[in-house]
Chain A
Amino acid sequence: MTIPSTHLFVQTLILGVLVGGVYALMASGLTLIFGVMRVINVAHGAFLILGAYCTYWLFTLTGLDPLLSLVITVPLLFAIGWVVQRYLLTRIQNPEQASVLVTFAMAITLEGLMGTVWKTTLRTVRPDYASKVIELASYRLPVTRLAGFAAALIVLILLYIILQRTNLGRAIRATIQDRNAARLVGVNVEMVAALTFGIGIATAAAGGSLLSMIYSFNASSQTDWISRVLSIIVLGGMGSLPGALLAALVLGVMEQLTAIVITLYWSPIVFYIFLFLTLIVRPQGLMGEVVREKA
């Protein structure tokens, strides 16, 4: 255990926030899907990795910049998400109970397919600015992380505008608040669910594209990622978007801090312990509401 200097501490905080931004993007879609559909999408991690592989492919085949590849991966995975919701998830009989297992089945099916196509080699996308670092008032900011954070921020702002300023956004928020009441005032709840799932998967695609240049990945890394983003949305409060953003930043900062104070290997466990302690005090998560299930 080492106590870091102030400079190192601030540097760590900055890195934590940068990573947290990307986590926030990954978790936002998941919590949104849960809010609207009460479906917990365990396949989110697999879609993340799928997004990462798409970016990897585009980069190695055409040299397309990973940040630009968002333009392709996001609409592509939006379409996949829409189809999955429309033709698969709507068939589940009691989503509250079964959705976890159905989406888990999707996750391992995807993992198996991706493992077959891309093998188990760990991949990473390394554009020519991959090892560049910007120095700002003696603090070092890796360009990929900065770019990842910026891109995450842009997508999150877009998401915020969609939710707050468009009719679709109003319909989504209405459905989150009360599904039946939304239906009564004329919201096409089924359509909203399909679109939300599409948007959720699209944010996963964006997160995956950013992940591909910061971390190395293969098909089975989806389990690491899903456990991380799921923990984020439980900590934040299932279905709460602000909660997920807050929890993502908490995770990002805590991971980085643990890495310098103890060791890198222990950093995930500190977050899980924090999650457990929070649940003792607040079972509904940081910003979640108490929902009585099976009403």
Chain B
Amino acid sequence: MRLLRVPPWAWIGGGLIALLAFPIVQRGQYYQHLMVMTMMAAVLASSWNILGGYTGYTSLGHAAFFGLGGYLVALAHNQFGWHPFISTWFLGLVVMGVALILGWIALRTHGSAFVVVTIAMVFIFRIVALNLGEITNGARGLTQPRPGWGGVQWSPEIMKIPFHYIMLALLCLTVLVSWRIRLSKFGLGLVAIREDEGKAEAVGIDALVYKVLAFGISAYFVAVAGGIYSYFFTYIDPQFIFNIFTSVTMVLIAILGGRGTLWGPVLGAFIMEPLGDWLVGTFGGTQIHLAVFGAILLGVMLFMPQGILPSLSDWLKRLTRSRGAGRLGPEPGAGQDASSAAKT
């Protein structure tokens, strides 16, 4: 139990230092790549969580914003020479604008119908990207120049490092915004909508405006991540980037970690992404990895619908309560209790 006595800022600080030091300590290309992808998954899931976790509206359409961000950044880079590391931050705002409009329509539906409508979004964008051949190059996809800065290309050995730090910055920003929202009156309104939308409206929350705003914000970080992703891989095509699977992965990670919690999606990403990578590595080439992924999702949904973080804290609470139960007299000192638990 001593583990829990560490104050939250120490956990966060420690994690941050570890992530800052990671590419310096770990020189392996494979691990650097995996870490960038893991942090991206954490960004996507945390961002999805702002809508899906706080308001309870399950969107499977966020892949549309991921892909749109990717395409805008790639196009701006190729056409006007805008560097993706800069352009992605404000092109994300454009995507956010699109999301606000789409959300304004989609969020009139509830529950399952909303899920379906958001699925349709992904397909709409995919079909548009496939068919606007003159702009998007259709099914052949878009290629960007090899990553670099100021005309100098980064050599393959150091190429992943800039991406590591920009993704880390995005992750910090996403978690920070998610945290601020959770503490704000706005966030409280979102949670009220999740618990009972009718009653929330009765106490004066304009549910549609709240939901649409949450939708837009949660689309922003996903779009920025999409922009960085398209530059990271220097190649995107409609089938791959507008993929419902991307959406589902966000949802799975958020649920696995703990839907509606601040750190759940981050935790989920650091479990799921390496696991997924391992699955593809082990069963790669065949479609079995898809089946195994589905089976894991099924298992999580059936046996751990709350997610790891809430289940874990429930379990810890039960543990402490059972230790306290049956004891007479005043509560023992908390510190003493913790140290005795750590010894056993």
In Å, the complex CA distance between A268 and B292 comes to 31
In Å, the complex CA distance between A96 and B128 comes to 32
B130 CB within 8 Å of chain A: yes
Residue in A closest to B245 when the chains form the complex, CB atoms: A108
In Å, the complex CA distance between A133 and B244 comes to 38
In Å, the complex CA distance between A283 and B119 comes to 16
For chain B, residues 293 to 311, give those with C-beta under 8 angstroms from any C-beta of chain A.
Answer: 293-295, 297-298, 301-302, 305
Minimum-distance CB pairs A-B, first 9: A112-B291, A115-B287, A112-B290, A109-B294, A105-B297, A108-B294, A283-B108, A105-B298, A40-B112
The stretch of B31-39, B247-255, B319-327 that contacts the partner chain:
B247-255
Residue in A closest to B124 when the chains form the complex, CB atoms: A272
Mask: chain B, 105-123; 1 = CB below 8 Å from A; 0 = not: 1101111110111011001
In Å, the complex CA distance between A112 and B291 comes to 4
Does the CB pair B58–A108 fall under 8 Å? Answer: no
Does the CB pair B287–A219 fall under 8 Å? Answer: yes
Mask: chain A, 125-160; 1 = CB below 8 Å from B; 0 = not: 000000000000000000000000000000000000
Does the CB pair A101–B255 fall under 8 Å? Answer: yes
Does the CB pair A92–B127 fall under 8 Å? Answer: no
Set of chain B residues within 8 Å of A109, measured between Cβ atoms:
290-291, 294-295, 298
A294 CB within 8 Å of chain B: yes
Mask: chain A, 20-44; 1 = CB below 8 Å from B; 0 = not: 0000000000000010001010000
For chain B, residues 85 to 136, give those with C-beta under 8 angstroms from any C-beta of chain A.
Answer: 105-106, 108-113, 115-117, 119-120, 123-124, 127-128, 130-131
Does the CB pair B109–A279 fall under 8 Å? Answer: yes
A-B contact pairs, 30 of them (CB 8 A): A38-B112, A40-B116, A92-B302, A92-B305, A96-B112, A98-B301, A100-B115, A101-B58, A104-B248, A104-B297, A105-B294, A105-B298, A109-B298, A112-B289, A112-B293, A114-B287, A115-B287, A227-B120, A231-B120, A234-B120, A265-B127, A265-B130, A266-B127, A268-B127, A269-B127, A272-B127, A276-B105, A279-B117, A280-B105, A294-B197
For chain B, residues 325 to 344, give those with C-beta under 8 angstroms from any C-beta of chain A.
Answer: none
- Chain A CB within 10 Å — which of B60, B110, B287 has the most? B287
A2 CB within 8 Å of chain B: no
Does the CB pair A112–B301 fall under 8 Å? Answer: no
Interface size class of A (residues with CB under 8 A): 35 or more
Contact of A92 among B105, B286, B288, B301 (CB under 8 A): B301
In Å, the complex CA distance between A88 and B303 comes to 11
In Å, the complex CA distance between A110 and B298 comes to 12
Q: Chain A: residues with CB nearer than 8 A to chain B?
A: 34, 38, 40, 88, 91-94, 96-102, 104-116, 120, 219, 223, 226-227, 230-231, 233-234, 238, 263, 265-266, 268-269, 272-273, 275-276, 279-280, 283, 285, 292-294
B198 CB within 8 Å of chain A: yes
In the complex with contacts A101-B255, A105-B298, A293-B111 CB distance below 8 A: yes
User: In the complex, given contacts A93-B305, A272-B127, what are 10 additional A-B residue pairs having Cβ atoms less than 8 angstroms apart?
Assistant: A40-B112, A40-B116, A101-B297, A106-B294, A108-B293, A115-B290, A231-B116, A234-B116, A265-B130, A293-B111
Does the CB pair B286–A116 fall under 8 Å? Answer: yes
Q: Chain B: residues with CB nearer than 8 A to chain A?
A: 56, 58, 60, 105-106, 108-113, 115-117, 119-120, 123-124, 127-128, 130-131, 196-198, 244-245, 248, 251-252, 255, 286-295, 297-298, 301-302, 305
In Å, the complex CA distance between A266 and B129 comes to 11
Set of chain A residues within 8 Å of B115, measured between Cβ atoms:
40, 100
B52 CB, nearest partner CB in chain A, Å: 10
In the complex with contacts A227-B123, A238-B113, A269-B290 CB distance below 8 A: no
Does the CB pair A283–B293 fall under 8 Å? Answer: no
A132 CB, nearest partner CB in chain B, Å: 32
In the complex with contacts A105-B298, A272-B123, A230-B108 CB distance below 8 A: no
Set of chain B residues within 8 Å of A98, measured between Cβ atoms:
301, 305
Set of chain A residues within 8 Å of B110, measured between Cβ atoms:
293
Does the CB pair B109–A97 fall under 8 Å? Answer: no
B26 CB, nearest partner CB in chain A, Å: 32
Does the CB pair A223–B58 fall under 8 Å? Answer: no
In Å, the complex CA distance between A96 and B194 comes to 13
In the complex with contacts A107-B294, A108-B293, A111-B287, A101-B123 CB distance below 8 A: no
Set of chain A residues within 8 Å of B248, measured between Cβ atoms:
101, 104, 108
Does the CB pair A102–B124 fall under 8 Å? Answer: no
Set of chain B residues within 8 Å of A276, measured between Cβ atoms:
105-106, 117, 120
A293 CB, nearest partner CB in chain B, Å: 5
In Å, the complex CA distance between A275 and B105 comes to 10
B47 CB, nearest partner CB in chain A, Å: 18
Does the CB pair B301–A105 fall under 8 Å? Answer: yes
Set of chain A residues within 8 Å of B128, measured between Cβ atoms:
269
In Å, the complex CA distance between A94 and B297 comes to 16
Contact of B291 among A91, A116, A233, A268 (CB under 8 A): A116
Set of chain A residues within 8 Å of B255, measured between Cβ atoms:
101
B98 CB, nearest partner CB in chain A, Å: 13
